């Protein structure tokens, strides 16, 4: 079993594009940029810091 990548913000259910901006905490709670900002980049579930999810880039590195 592998972890499923969430495709919606846990807070507002906004759809998150795979290559769009999303914020996750260390436990992979997932939020949109708007909610992350509203919550001061702190996860309401576990209190962890929300960081921008790295995007898959085809531009090397």
Query: What gap in Å lies between CA 42 and CA 24, rounded to an integer?
Result: 10
| Tally of CB atoms within 10 A around 14 | 15
Q: Which is nearer to Zn ion, 32 or 53 (CB)?
A: 32
Q: Which is nearer to Zn ion, 19 or 26 (CB)?
A: 26
Q: Which residues bind Zn ion (CB under 5 A)?
A: 9, 11-12, 14, 25, 27, 29, 32, 35, 43, 45-46, 48
Q: Which is nearer to Zn ion, 19 or 45 (CB)?
A: 45
Provide, rounded to whole angstroms, the least separation between the CB of residue 59 and Zn ion. Answer: 27
């Amino acid at each position: 079993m592998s972890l499923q990548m969430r495709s919606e913000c846990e807070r507002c259910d906004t759809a998150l594009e795979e290559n769009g901006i999303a914020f996750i905490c260390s436990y992979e709670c997932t939020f949109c940029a708007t909610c992350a900002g509203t919550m001061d980049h702190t996860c309401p579930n576990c209190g962890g810091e929300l960081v921008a999810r790295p995007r898959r880039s085809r531009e090397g590195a």
